[in-house]
Amino acid sequence: MTDAAIVMRSATFRYGEREALHDLSFQVAAGTIFSVVGPNGAGKSTMMKLLLGLIQPVEGTVQVLGFDVSSQGQQIRERSAALLEHTGLYDRLSGETNLEFYARVWRLPPDQRNRRIRDVLMHFGLWERRRDLVGTWSRGMKQKLAIARALLHEPELLLLDEPTAGLDPVAAADLRQLVAGLAERGGMTIFMSTHNLHEVEEMADQVVVLREGRIMASGSPAEIARATGSPRTVTVVAAGLTQPVVDALSQLPEVVSIARVSDGLTMQIAAGGGLSSVIQVLTAAGVQIHDVRSTHSELESAFLKLMEER
């Protein structure tokens, strides 16, 4: 048997005449984080509906958790959880009461309900606030509660649509860490759609880049960047730069191009290229490095390139 959580084989889906997904084939290993990225209209939401068995492929097959979406959607939905646009939380109820409500919806046996509610509240750091009305909570806390709610029935697959949209950077980072832990320690398979390519690069084990319902690339973020040969832009803020140092850097094989800017320099680094030689040249020349940042992630460059190619 396979430990793939998702298997698509030549899956095509149409809304009437309009083809929204074309001939998709890929697999997602259980316990990994999978992300689909693409511009609006690429087919991301349609793919989520397909994975939940809410719609069926007109050609090909889609298996989720070992079940066929065309005939076993119910089994899939019992073992999955989806967090879509709306959190589904009630502002006028406390965090705990919200979860009690959903525990009943999921028909958790009464003896398990309290234990599960306690577990998820503790896991998400919400236990202390459990009796406060959700309407008074921050957006980040609400989003955590929404995921906690989705986890009550211990799903094997979690689908998240833009989970960190609208969160401040700290809350977003916190949530990313919690979600990563679910896959890493909990063995859950996570399907995530997001517009944040840095988030994808940081979290996803596997990515499918979709455009107009077709797969433009798939693999790990690094594999996609390598396959498209996309360089990344690195900015170094430094003091003590001289022209000979810049010339020496421009000789390095990984430096595609280099330019001086007011407080340092900016470079294009070839796909897969590291920064150790660059740092070595700079430190050997006595340059003081204040900051090094990648302004475009590799995946971002790859993504932009894939969207441009016709």
Degrees to nearest 5, angle at CA 30 with 28 and 34? 45
Nearer to ligand ADP (CB atom), residue 20 or residue 172: 20
| By CB under 6 A, residue 41 contacts ligand ADP | yes
Longest Cα separation, the chain: 73
| By CB under 6 A, residue 43 contacts ligand ADP | yes
Q: How far is C-alpha 208 from the chain's CA centre?
A: 11
Which segment (12-20, 100-108, 221-229, 242-250) binds ligand ADP by CB under 6 A?
Answer: 12-20
Among residues 42, 103, 146, 234, the one that binds ligand ADP under rule CB under 6 A: 42
Total residues binding ligand ADP (CB under 6 A): 11
Q: What's the closest the beta carbon of residue 160 comes to ligand ADP, in angstroms?
A: 14
The token duo for 296 is 């475009």
| By CB under 6 A, residue 153 contacts ligand ADP | no
User: In sequence order, which residues have a C-beta less than 8 Å from that of residue 286 and are 6 or more positions away?
Assistant: 240
Q: What's the closest the beta carbon of residue 194 comes to ligand ADP, in angstroms?
A: 11
Nearer to ligand ADP (CB atom), residue 54 or residue 279: 54
Among residues 22, 33, 44, 196, the one that binds ligand ADP under rule CB under 6 A: 44
Q: Give the E-state strand segments of 44-154 in sequence order.
A: 59-64, 67-68, 80-83
Q: Across the strands, what pairs with 294?
A: 234
CA distances from 255 to 215, 223, 287, 300 (A): 30, 20, 18, 18
Nearer to ligand ADP (CB atom), residue 51 or residue 121: 51
Which segment (39-47, 140-148, 163-171, 288-296) binds ligand ADP by CB under 6 A?
Answer: 39-47
CA distances from 226 to 80, 223, 266, 270, 295 (A): 33, 5, 21, 9, 18
Footprint on this chain of ligand ADP (rule: CB under 6 A)? 15, 18, 20, 38, 40-46
